[in-house]
Amino acid sequence: MARLAFAFFCITFAVYIMGIKAQEGYCEHNGKKIPSGQYYYSENPCIKLHCNNDGSMSGIGCPTFHAPGCKIEVGTGPYPACCQNVVCPK
C-alpha cells in the first residue's frame, strides 16, 4: 500500500498547448474537427483536447507512475480509459 501511495505522489500530468488556429469556429486534430469551446477525447495519443475560443488547442494527458514491484497495464478506449493503470500484488 505504501508503494501505491508513493506512486500517486509521483504522478505528473502531461499538459501541452498546441498553437493550431481555429478556422470557421473549429480546430483540427488528426483530421477531426473540434468545435470552438468543445472537448475531444483522443485514444492515440491518449489525451483530452480543448478547442479554445481564441483558436488555440490545449490538452491534458495521462499521469505517469513509478511503482516498484507493480505492473503497469495499458488501458483502451478514449481518454481517460486509455491511460495506464498500476496493478500491485496484494
pLDDT digits (tens, 9 = 90+) for 18-66: 444 456 789 988 888 999 999 999 999 999 999 999 888 999 999 988 8
- Contacts of residue 79, defined as CB under 8 A and 6 or more positions apart, other chains included, come to 41, 42, 43, 46, 47, 48, 61, 62
Which cell goes with 32? Answer: 477531426
DSSP 4: H
Residue with cell 501505491: 4
CB atoms closer than 10 angstroms to residue 7: 19
**pLDDT reported for residue 17:** 38
**pLDDT reported for residue 18:** 43
pTM (global) more than 0.75: no
Preceding peptide of 63 cis, ω within 30°: no
